[in-house]
Structure 1
Amino acid sequence: MLIFQDIASTPIERLRVSKCSQPTLDVLPPGKIRSLTLSNCQISSIDPKVFRTVESSLEELSLLNNSLSNVPLFGNMSKLLSLNLYGNKLKDVPEHAFDGLPHLRYLRVERNGICSLSPNALAEVKANLQLLDLSGNCFSAIPAQNLRNSVMLMYLDLSDNKIGEINNFELMNLPQLKELRLHGNVLNQIHPMAFMNVPQLQYLYMRDNLIGSLDGNRLQAFHKLEILDVTNNLLQKLPELKDLTSLKQVRLDGNLIEKVETLAFSNNPKLQLISLQNNNIVQIARNSFDSLDQLLVLLLSNNSIQTIERGMLDGMKNLQQLNLRNNSLSSVDENTFSSLRQLTTLDLAYNNLKKIGKKTFLHQTKLFWLDLSNNQLTSFEEGTFDSKIANILLDGNRLICDDSFDWFVRYLVTNRVRTFLPFQAEISCAGPEKYAGVRLKDLMMKKANDTLNEGMKTLGFNEQGQRSFISSLIPGLNPPQSRGMDSSALEHAAAGIPILSTLSQAIPSMRNMPALEAGGAVAGQPVNPQLNTAIEQFTAPLVRFATGGQPVASDIQQLIESIPNFVVNVPGLGNVDISKLDPNLISHVLRGGQIPGIPKETLDNIVQQYMLKMHEAAAAARSGTPLPDGEKFLPSFDKLPNELIAGVIQGDTLPGLNETQTQTIKDYYTSLIPVLATADESDNDTDVVSKLPPVKRPAFVFSKEMMDMLRMLPTGYDLSKIPSEIITAFSRGEVPDLRKLPSDLLEHFKSNSDKLGLIFNRVATGNTSLEEMLSKLPKFEKPVLSTFSPYDINRLSNEMIHEEEEAAKAARMRVYTAIALGLVGALTLVVLAIFAVYIKRQRKGKERQTLMSPGGPIPGAPLANSTMRRAPATQCSQLHLRVD
């Protein structure tokens, strides 16, 4: 193969070759390759000698998705750890197929056509095999003889075969087995003695089978079992899952279980998830979930539960998610969920709920998601909801929006509760007749509008003062001088509220304001009683107004800026003096903002009129005949709303204008940009240029770099979040400080760093140093990766198992070393003791030989020891020996 010609002398960590169309693999050049993958190459045969050139270095070999019909001969590959034969055409694994692979640990032969194994097929590698994947074949029985006594096997996958039962002793003497996958078979029976000496099992997957019964007592032998998955079987009775002290997840979905017995899950202190969805459960006995302090998720959707009595859900004091979707519940009350005080998510959709009792959610102070959609609810008793619940989904209920419903509307507005999802239709009232078909959203608007009136009163505007304030906006109602507040007083009152001040000057003839009495109507124009029907959201400042809090003028500004959908329905628009509109108001409306008391259509119309006047003024200025008040509609560059600039840059037309009209405005501002003289012009016209007055360069230019940067932004990104100094720097051809970008935009630029670098390089000027450029680049910190458990055997890499094995090996070595040192210490003590006894005996023997004659001891002589000293001469002369 030509691809291998240039790698003979280069050490290679990992080499992958795909779609190479090589029916016969007959050559591999000599080289040091640690991992080799040949996939989708249509290889049907392999020369027996082909791996000799890499056998001294190859550790991983993958021959997946080829056409091998026989296991090739691998020769003597003493370092090979992993062999992957996925997706070939193997029918059998013959004996001695893996001779010469003494250290093979990971063997994958899934998705072949193997229906059985020769009795000794894995004999040569069984002692070291840690992972064996036989999934996706046609086994009709467990290959027990090939598996038995695989003392190092940790991961076994027999899924997606045709295994019908597990006989006694078929899974025997697997002391290290952690994960067993049997899903996707036709299992209907597991014999009592099927598992013998499998003490380390942690993950047992048996979903999508035909299991009719499961003896929970047999599972107690698995003291380390963490996950049990028996989803989509034929279980009619919930197995007794007790005393499994390591169990964390139980999945029994899609069975035929009808009842949850008392203490069904007792003494499982680490259990975190129970899923019993899609069964036929009618009854849950009291204390069924007793003492499950660590349980976080309980899934009971798609059953037939009709009632939840007191005590049924006790014992789960830390439960956070409860799913009772699509059952037959007709009511819930204050006792139903009283023990679940950590609940955050509760799904009661698609039941038959007709009533939710008062104080039902009194103790669920952390609840933020409550799904009540598609029930038979018509109203809620006051006090049903107390604490804030951010999401209460009500789609599919026939709500009766009478007077008793008013408190609930107030609750929704006060807490800014979302009542439907984006893909659902808006919630509408089913009655009474006058409210039939009225959106719940409109009722919330009305409630907020009423509170706005209350807020006006607390700001010092009594009923007469309110009319005077409104009359300044709508002179056609009544002259403000006759209503107790003159125009100068009004201007003073609105001075601290910029947008209200702008509107008070710009909109002189709006009519039929909400909440006005008939006396405020214009002659010949009756008051519309339906006008007082809409305010979208209810904000904190207005709540404070209505509840007696001390308001300030800035609250109104906060209201306008923070609630862009806060609108009421006010039909009609008279003559608008748009020359007095503040550009900030235009910018606010272009961002989607709205104004209390003014409908969106009205504001859009105002902006469109402003744009038309802007076009008229720009066209006149371009033709040399500027309008007398044209400057009012053509603000300077630094005062142009960013939204207008961004729209033009992205190729959009301005609101209410066509492309030609938009281009006229663009040309006007472009003409204000000073044209830089070329080198030739500056040489020939130096005097002329020097005499020109200095022209200030605008803060924004429609440059190519700016266009490139905007194309990189995510679709629909809010340009107002980008600091103005970034945009200005780009437009001036300067290097922007990208560190000031919002964090979400920096995250987006991580995946487009190459394009960002090109733009950054093109924008940089010749006088910019490399250090300065680097200092302005954002620092992309390496993210902290999360880990998940349990792991997937299909994603298990050799390195992962190798690391685990090395860690276990190191731990064992430490234990062995400690034991060895202990034995050495003990042996040393024994030797020292024996040596001491020996020395003592030696001393006694020498004493006897020295101080005793053959007839007996010398009378009066002292006892000698092993350190007897030589007596002085004077003493020796006095020593007498008696000789018989």
Structure 2
Amino acid sequence: MSRLIHLHFNKFLLLLVIWSSSVAADDCPILPSTCVCNKEATGRISITCDGAHLPSLFKDIGGASIDRLRISKCAQPVVDVLPTGPIRSLALTNCQITTINPEIFRSVESTLEELNLSNNSLKNVPLLGNMSQLRSLNLFGNKVKEVPEGVFSGLSQLRMLRLENNEICSLSPTSLSEVKQKIELLDLSGNCFASVPAQALRNSIKLMYLDLSDNKISEINNFELMNLPQLKELRLQNNQLHEIHPMAFMNVPQLQYLYLKDNLIGSLDGNRLQAFHRLEILDVTNNLLLKLPELKDLTSLKQVRLDGNLIEKIDTLAFSNNPNLQLISIQDNNIAQIAKNSFDSLDQLMVLLLSNNSIQKLERGMLDGMRNLQQLNLRNNSLTAVDEYSFASLRFLTTLDLAHNELVKIGKRTFSHQSKLFWLDLSNNKLTGFEEGTFDTKIANLLLDGNHLICDDDFDWFVRYLVTNRVRTFLPFQTEITCAGPEKYAGVRLKDLMIKKANDTLTEGMRSLGFNSDQSQNSLLSALLPGFRPPPAASANGGGALGQAAAGLPILSTLSQAIPSMRNMPGLDMTAAAAAAGGAQPANPNLNTAIEQFTAPLVRFATGGQPVQSDIEQLIQSIPNFVVNVPGMGNVDISKLDPNLIAHVLRGGQIPGIPKETLDGIVQQYMLKMHEAAAAAQNGAPLKNGSKFLPPIEKFPPDIVASVFQGNNLPGLNEEQTKVIKDYYTARLPVPPAAVPERISAMANTSPVPYSTRNTTTAPPFVFSKELLDMLKILPVGYNLSKIPAEIITAFSRGEVPDLRKLPTDLIEHFKSNSEKLGLIFNRVAKANASLEEMLAKMPKFEKPVLSTFSPYDINHLSNDMIHEEEEAARAARMRVYTAIALGLVGAATVVILGFFAVYIKRQREAKERRGPMTTPRCAFPGAPLANSTMRNQPRSHSSSHLHLRTNT
């Protein structure tokens, strides 16, 4: 029995699986190959078909629940069937439909929300029945000629109705009655309306978007756009509008976007626009405006577009009290005059477009009031010159277009206030050059195409400016800029001048570091990086084309000494050490790519060719990659580089083409080795090669030494590590023997020949004595030692009293606040033969400061002043007493008068009571008004009685 139950249960499970599979298969039915079916997250399906046969397709779909059904290009003139299941969104587009059976919509009346029948051939609005859920109806691009009354009677929830690009020329007053209370978007563009369908639109209380563009409307009469309380956007572009009557808009308070472009409007009353308190965009492009409309007090206005009109001037305060205005475009007009303060108080304005006008001059203050302006377009005007006042108030300008003007001069400091300017277009003007100082700050893009540049000596500073700031001067699609003169430079590309200037700048920069080149300019790298000492004559094993080329490239030999990994490069083992080794070191695979990039530019030159610009560019680009890929940074030995190079690196300087991070790493590694060697020497166990990392102190830059002895750390070391090196050198400071004047004379040698070119036996110009270091400690931090005369430093190094009167003025002023420390130094360096008079004679004279002070008090004047103050205080006290008494008397008199008046009033009332209803005499009491007693006895007139009745009524 249990086996039988188990068997039936298995059959039941099998049937359940088969049924589930059939249900899942029904979710996406079998459709033609031109259709795509997707299942939505809601459980419904979406079907998109291109070119399907409608009856067959709808039969295949059957009763499936559909979220979206999109069918196009179906070539079905008559539609008389739909799928039987619920559909939320239906689109039958580009199907040449002419007739739709109204009965087919009954199956979807309660579910259809969107119906799109665009780009068909319908001549009438189809009868849709009672579609209570339909919210969007799109009949774009049909042949509908009229909208009959009651055609939308069953569409109680319709929100969007699109009837654009049909043949509708009018709407009856009741065409939209059924949907007027719900409609939010109505598109009637691209029809043949000659006037606004005012009666059909009026009182559409929820209408927000109305499009009447691309019709034939010639004017908007009074009250035609009335009672549209929610209207936000109105499109009337591309009509034949020539007039908008003063009362055309009534009760349209929410209007934000008004588009009137491509019409025939000759004037626009700006005062009428003030009724639109929420207006943000006004577009009146391509009309016939002769005068700029008064666009004032539109506090929400953000964009104004008036391009393509006939406006000739911009008046003062033309855009006043528009605090949120961000864009003004008045291009393609006839503007020749801009009054001062035309753009006053437009703090939010960011874009001003004035291209294609007739502006001849930018006077001072003409562009004031736009302190946050970023983009200014003055292209294709008639400007002949601009100066430092033209754009002085536009400090946040980023883009300035002055192309296609008549500019012949740009004054000095014209753009000195525009530190954020990165795009300046000066193309197609009449510029021949720029006066030095025209450009102070970097402008990344400075377009110069179409000018007649004279590249003479006065132009040299500008080329230097372009190179230094890496300025782009033309765009990729433009022809390269060439010089128009003088004759020797006519036709030469500006780019070539910039390349030459870049090479010259690099050479001058290296020379400024103290490098000298003994090689001829036939060497490519020698021309690029001069100053490295030439290597010895090439050895026998340094033969070959590349070896010969390297022999003429001193930098390669120098770098091969400093960076051991470079010795693996073929043709570069030219040193004696390499020759003695009997073979090259193993190749380093990490350097393969870098070496190829670095040596490739040398191949053509090594075979006898001349260097070209592409070689230079490739070489410079390869240097950073080559240096970065050097393995074993700790193996870098900068002691074998030029001493001037060491000094430059220690000061924080850079070498062109080598990344700063690489140099910092080299310096840190060297300093760590230096600390290790100094610590070992102090502990009595010097390193084997310690002298390589502990050069004599005179080889260090004096400013670095001074900085260390003033308490600063060496680059890459902490305070403790720096102290170890400092103690090492302090303990080994040389003391000049007093009995050897010849040696001191040698130390005082101040020959201008760089140290790198002197014979190694030549003595240094001075010795770092303890007294000299004491003086360095009291110098200002970072002081330039080159300003101190050599004889002062030499005297200190000899242990003599220097003549401090020869010090620079700024240093003398500094010593005023350190006179005690200076005296202690003098006390130690004073010799037996130096008398007190001689020491005082060499001290700088500190002049007594002339300070403004107060004149001393005169005791007589002081006592007189005190007496005068006491008298004034007594007088003020008496005045307060007199004032209090007077106020008391006035108060008492007031009380008495009020008492008499109260008694008088009381007696008058008693008299009235005794007389009873008797007629009041004309003069009840002296001074009583006669008119009051007379009027009181007069009977009421008829008119007054009538007025009283009306009031009561």
Structure 1 residue aligned with 2:459, among 401, 405, 418?
A: 405
Structure 2 residue aligned with 1:132, among 163, 174, 186?
A: 186
Check 1:299–1:426 CA distance in 2 against 1; reply closer, same or farther (3 A cut).
same
Superposition deviation, residue 12 in structure 1: 1.4
Deviations 1:32-61 (A, max 9, x none): 111111111111111121211110111111
1:253-652 matched pairs, under 5 angstroms: 253-458=307-512, 461-465=515-519, 491-495=556-560, 496=563, 507-508=605-606, 510=608, 555-557=656-658
The residue identity in structure 1 corresponding to 2:167 is G
Check 1:457–1:465 CA distance in 2 against 1; reply closer, same or farther (3 A cut).
farther
TM-score under structure 2 normalisation? 0.53
Tell me the residue number matched to 1:12. 66
Secondary structure at the residue paired with 1:400?
Answer: coil
Tell me the residue number matched to 1:35. 89
Distance in 2, matches of 1:259 and 1:290, equals 16
Moved more, 306-315 or 496-505: 496-505
> Is 1:167 aligned to 2:221, yes or no?
yes
Deviations 1:325-376 (A, max 9, x none): 0000000000000000000000000000000000000010000000000000
Structure 2 residue aligned with 1:249, among 291, 300, 303?
A: 303
Tell me the residue number matched to 2:152. 98
Tell me the residue number matched to 2:202. 148
1:191-230 matched pairs, under 5 angstroms: 191-230=245-284
Distance in 1, matches of 2:142 and 2:176, equals 19
The residue identity in structure 1 corresponding to 2:656 is D
Check 1:121–1:466 CA distance in 2 against 1; reply closer, same or farther (3 A cut).
same
Secondary structure at the residue paired with 1:464?
Answer: coil
Moved more, 213-222 or 441-450: 441-450
Secondary structure at the residue paired with 1:406?
Answer: helix
Tell me the residue number matched to 1:68. 122
Distance in 2, matches of 1:281 and 1:84, equals 44
CA contact (8 A) 2:181 2:205 kept: yes
CA contact (8 A) 2:163 2:187 kept: yes
CA contact (8 A) 2:519 2:534 kept: no
Distance in 2, matches of 1:115 and 1:91, equals 7
Tell me the residue number matched to 2:693. none
Distance in 2, matches of 1:473 and 1:407, equals 22
Superposition deviation, residue 6 in structure 1: 3.5
CA contact (8 A) 1:494 1:500 kept: no
Tell me the residue number matched to 1:837. none
Tell me the residue number matched to 2:243. 189
Moved more, 407-416 or 114-123: 114-123
Superposition deviation, residue 500 in structure 1: 6.0
Superposition deviation, residue 457 in structure 1: 3.0
Distance in 2, matches of 1:344 and 1:468, equals 45
Distance in 1, matches of 2:480 and 2:553, equals 44
TM-score under structure 1 normalisation? 0.57
Tell me the residue number matched to 1:59. 113
Distance in 1, matches of 2:525 and 2:284, equals 73
CA contact (8 A) 1:446 1:533 kept: no
Check 1:408–1:533 CA distance in 2 against 1; reply closer, same or farther (3 A cut).
farther
Superposition deviation, residue 473 in structure 1: 11
Check 1:462–1:144 CA distance in 2 against 1; reply closer, same or farther (3 A cut).
same
CA contact (8 A) 1:445 1:533 kept: no
Distance in 1, matches of 2:600 and 2:91, equals 71
> Is 1:25 aligned to 2:96, yes or no?
no
Secondary structure at the residue paired with 1:145?
Answer: helix
Superposition deviation, residue 555 in structure 1: 3.4
The residue identity in structure 2 corresponding to 1:413 is V
Moved more, 191-200 or 45-54: 45-54
Deviations 1:562-613 (A, max 9, x none): xxxxxxxxxxxxxxxxxxxxxxxxxxxxxxxxxxxxxxxxxxxxxxxxxxxx
Check 1:433–1:541 CA distance in 2 against 1; reply closer, same or farther (3 A cut).
farther
CA contact (8 A) 1:10 1:31 kept: yes
1:721-740 matched pairs, under 5 angstroms: none
Aligned length: 537
Distance in 1, matches of 2:192 and 2:210, equals 16
1:626-775 matched pairs, under 5 angstroms: none
The residue identity in structure 1 corresponding to 2:56 is L
Deviations 1:150-176 (A, max 9, x none): 111111000000000000000000000
Greater relative contact order (Cα < 8 A, sep 6+): 1
Check 1:489–1:389 CA distance in 2 against 1; reply closer, same or farther (3 A cut).
closer
Check 1:533–1:307 CA distance in 2 against 1; reply closer, same or farther (3 A cut).
farther
Superposition deviation, residue 470 in structure 1: 6.2
Superposition deviation, residue 314 in structure 1: 0.5
Distance in 1, matches of 2:309 and 2:239, equals 16
Secondary structure at the residue paired with 2:102?
Answer: coil
Superposition deviation, residue 62 in structure 1: 1.0
Superposition deviation, residue 10 in structure 1: 2.2
CA contact (8 A) 1:444 1:535 kept: no
**Cα RMSD over matched residues?**
3.3
Check 1:361–1:489 CA distance in 2 against 1; reply closer, same or farther (3 A cut).
closer
Superposition deviation, residue 507 in structure 1: 4.5
The residue identity in structure 2 corresponding to 1:276 is I
CA contact (8 A) 2:232 2:254 kept: yes
Check 1:512–1:87 CA distance in 2 against 1; reply closer, same or farther (3 A cut).
closer
Distance in 1, matches of 2:622 and 2:294, equals 53
The residue identity in structure 2 corresponding to 1:402 is D
Structure 1 unaligned regions, length at least 5: 515-530, 562-884
Check 1:395–1:200 CA distance in 2 against 1; reply closer, same or farther (3 A cut).
same
CA contact (8 A) 1:133 1:157 kept: yes
Check 1:128–1:539 CA distance in 2 against 1; reply closer, same or farther (3 A cut).
same
Structure 2 unaligned regions, length at least 5: 1-54, 539-549, 567-594, 625-643, 663-953
Check 1:39–1:457 CA distance in 2 against 1; reply closer, same or farther (3 A cut).
same
Determine what percentage of the aligned residue pairs are the same residue.
68
The residue identity in structure 2 corresponding to 1:329 is L
Secondary structure at the residue paired with 2:61?
Answer: coil
Superposition deviation, residue 186 in structure 1: 0.3
Superposition deviation, residue 508 in structure 1: 3.8
Secondary structure at the residue paired with 1:383?
Answer: coil
Superposition deviation, residue 70 in structure 1: 1.1
Check 1:173–1:458 CA distance in 2 against 1; reply closer, same or farther (3 A cut).
same
Check 1:188–1:480 CA distance in 2 against 1; reply closer, same or farther (3 A cut).
same
CA contact (8 A) 2:598 2:619 kept: no
Superposition deviation, residue 29 in structure 1: 3.0
Give the structure with higher Rg (CA): 2
Distance in 2, matches of 1:287 and 1:86, equals 48
Secondary structure at the residue paired with 1:442?
Answer: helix
Distance in 2, matches of 1:538 and 1:428, equals 25
